[in-house]
Structure formats: structure tokens, C-alpha cells
Amino acid sequence: MQHFYFDHNATTPVAPEVLETLVACLGQTYGNASSIHHFGQSAKQRLEAARRQVAALINANASEVVFTSGGTEANNLAILGMVRGAQQAHKHVITCSIEHPAVLSPAKQLGAEGVEVTCLRVGENGIVSPEDVRRAMRPETVLVSIMHANNELGTIQPVAEIAQIARQGGAAMHVDGVQALGKIPVDVQALGVDLYSVSGHKLYAPKGVGALYARKGVRLMPIAYGGHHERDRRPGTENVPGIAAFGAAAELAGARMAQDSERLTMLRDRLENTVLDRIPGTGVNGSRWNRVPNTSNLYFDGIDGEAMVIALDLRGFAVSTGAACSSGALSPSHVLKAIGLSDERARASMRFSLGRTNGVEQVDALADAISASVAHLRRISVHA
């Protein structure tokens, strides 16, 4: 059976161009980037070229890019490093209820360390209100952390406006940009943010590599100790092949952004419109506007999302009920709960996230499979 992939927000396949870079680097550029000799220098060159590539995609200076093991580490470094390094006696952090656990968990850890944490609610559109941020600001607020695009809904947050509020209040602004990079243009200077987290594997690069943009002058307390790598901000021998691949993927994403964006918007809307037209008791979770082009989160009243993921997988379509990280979890998605869905509707929701591998025929086949699965599941639940 053929399997089609509609879960690009969980991870993406490595792009063929990126794979070439990765394999070449694994085979040939095996030196330690800290070594003095020829091999070390080659690795260092690769590393710095990749840094320029990633920096270019977000309009940063290369020296402001810190490579990490992925988005989670970048978020931890930004939040823990920033707040622990702040000098104030009393510290306050603002974040919001639809953040990824890679932001919420370090924030919770700070809470346990005595930092006050405000977790803002969002409206049913899945977008944080800058006014709410303004009201939550205090003199002791040291960090505001708001994601750029939500992983489950795809909704884009007004981070530029929020960054301005943070700056006026004397706080640093961190943005989890893992789900935005490569999907929408990112310009850290125009956004006016201090810290911006990104991940390679959401961008057709391999897993295990990410980066944190840390604006020049931002002081971070290290969260791990070892060597002087990454300008003393992140110790450990650099994952040169992964980083080189990330660089290649960043360059590719920049070159393809407009084209990918237009095509994915068309495919996503085609899927959504077909499904909404055909199946009653169905709707979009969160705003249909202000979304990244590839993401659609839909509810199908009366069905069990967990069963539908399995049913669709057995028909050859890979989708998810929400974040891959919460699969198999007992409670419904915290994001869907945060935008006001009942437990029942949250459990009846599915995320479709499209990518470069999908075409019109696949999308139409998925729409047919969704119609058939929903009809079957609803028939069963009537009998049950």
C-alpha cells in the first residue's frame, strides 16, 4: 500500500538537496570544528557557512546564531538562560496557554525556582492579544515568550506588536519560531525580537539540529557546561553534518518560500473546502485567517480522533490528532482546550499539515478517505 504524508508539522522528510549536503559532510568533513588542522578547518568552514545561511533566512547577523540540538533546547536556552541570567531580585515572565511544552515546561521550572509566571489565555481564534500582554507587564517582567505560529492550529501571533510592548516595558522578547520558519517570512530585526528559536527537522533538514537567534548584546546564562563552543553559549562538539544540512535547508527554504507558500495554501484550502462542503458537523479550529499556509485543524463532531488517525493510517494517510509529542496522552490537546473547545470536540479534532511531498491528487484522495472514515465512525457511534 502507498502511504501519503500529511503530518509535516510533526516533522518533514529531508529534502534531496539537503540529503546530498548531509551525506557529503558525514563522509568527508569529519573533522572536529575546534581542531587546528586541515580537517578541523574544513569542518569549521562548513559550520560558519551554515551559520550564514540560517542567519540569512531570518535576517540576522551570523554571530547571533547559536546552534543547538533542536527547537526544545533552543527554547530552554532562551527561557532558562535569559531569566536565570537576569539581575533583578524579583522576576516575572509572561507566556501563553497555547505554547508548546518546550516553552511551558521551562517556564514551569522557573516557577519552581521562585519566578512568577503569567500564562495568558487566548481567544477562540487561537491568537494572543497584545493588549493582554500590555496589561500583564510589570516592572519586574524580564521576559515575554510568545510563539510565532502555533503547531496545532497554524495561527500566527502578533509577535512584532508584542515585542514592542515588551521592549517598552524593559523586558526581553523570546519567540518560539519552530513552526514558522520556512512557512512564512521571518525577519528578526523587523519583528524586533531578542531571542528566536528554530528547528531543522521542520524545514526538511534532519532531526537533532536547531538554533537560537540571540540578538547581539543579549546575555544568556548557560544551561549546560563543557567547552567554549558557540561563543560560550552552547558547549559540546558541533554536529557539523546536521548543521551543514540545516544551512542547506535554510537556503532552499528561502529560495522556495513564495512558491511553496502559494502552492500549499491552494492545497490546504482545497482540502478544507472539500471536507467542509461534504461533511456536516465539521469546522475549522482557530482562525482561518492569519494562519501558516500548510496547516488545517478540523473537528468532526461525534468521532473519536484517536480512532480516526488509525483508520486513516490503515488507508495510507498519515495525519495526527495534534502535537506528535502528546500522542497517546490521556487528556485532549491543551491548545484546543485553550481556545475553548469542549473535551468532546477536542477529542474529535484532527490536524492535517501539508508539505512539499503533497500534490492535488493526494489531497483529493485524503478528502475522500476522510469522508469515508467520518461516515463509518459516525455510523458506529450511533450503534454504540
Partner 1 sequence: MPEQPIAVAMSGGVDSSTVAAMLVREGRPVVGMTMQLWNQRRLPELAVEGATGRCCSLDDVYDARRVAEQIGIPYYVVNFEKQFEEHVVKPFVDEYLAGRTPIPCTLCNNYIKFDRFLEMADSVGAHYMATGHYARIRFDAGSGRYQLRRAVDDSKDQTYFLFGLTQEQLARTMFPLGELNKPAVRELAHSMDLAVASKGDSQEICFVPNGDYAAFMDAYLKEKGVSVERTEGELVTAAGRTLGRHEGVHHFTVGQRKGLGIATGEPLYVIATDPATQRVTVGSNDDLLSPGLFAKEVNWISIAGVAPGASVPAQVKIRNRHAAAAATLWGTDDPGRVEVRFETAQRAVTPGQGAVFYDGDLVLGGGWIE
Task: Enumerate binding residues for partner 1 (CB under 8 A).
Answer: 304, 306-308, 310-311, 313-315, 328-330, 376-377, 380, 384
Cβ 308 to partner 1, closest distance in Å? 8
Q: How many helices and strands in the chain, by DSSP H and E?
A: 13, 12
Using the minimum distance from each CB to partner 1, give the nearer residue, 132 or 304. 304
212 versus 312: smaller Cβ distance to partner 1: 312
Residue 147, all three cell numbers: 510563539
Distance, CA of 56 to CA of 362 (rounded, Å): 33
- Grid coordinates representing 238 are 558541533
Angle at 158 between CA 80 and CA 203, to 5 degrees: 70
Closer residue to partner 1, CB minimum distance, 120 or 312: 312
Residue 7 Cβ vs partner 1, minimum distance, rounded to whole Å: 15
The answer to whether 235 and 228 are in contact (CB under 8 A) is: yes
Q: How many CA atoms lie within 13 A of 205 on its CB side?
A: 32
Catalytic residues: 325
Nearest-CA neighbor of 211 among 12, 72, 371?
A: 72
Least separation in angstroms between residue 320's CB and partner 1 is: 13
Short-list 176, 174, 175, 180, CA closest to 203 = 180
Grid cell for residue 199 = 528547528
Distances 166 to 65, 192, 326 between C-alpha atoms, Å: 22, 10, 31
Nearer to partner 1, 6 or 213 (CB): 6
Dist CA 366 CA 228 (whole Å): 49
CB 82 within 8 A of CB 142: yes
Q: Which is nearer to partner 1, 27 or 328 (CB)?
A: 328
Q: Tell the smallest beta-carbon distance from residue 327 to partner 1 (Å).
A: 9
Q: Rounded to the nearest whole angstrom, what is the least distance from the CB of residue 204 to partner 1 in the complex?
A: 26
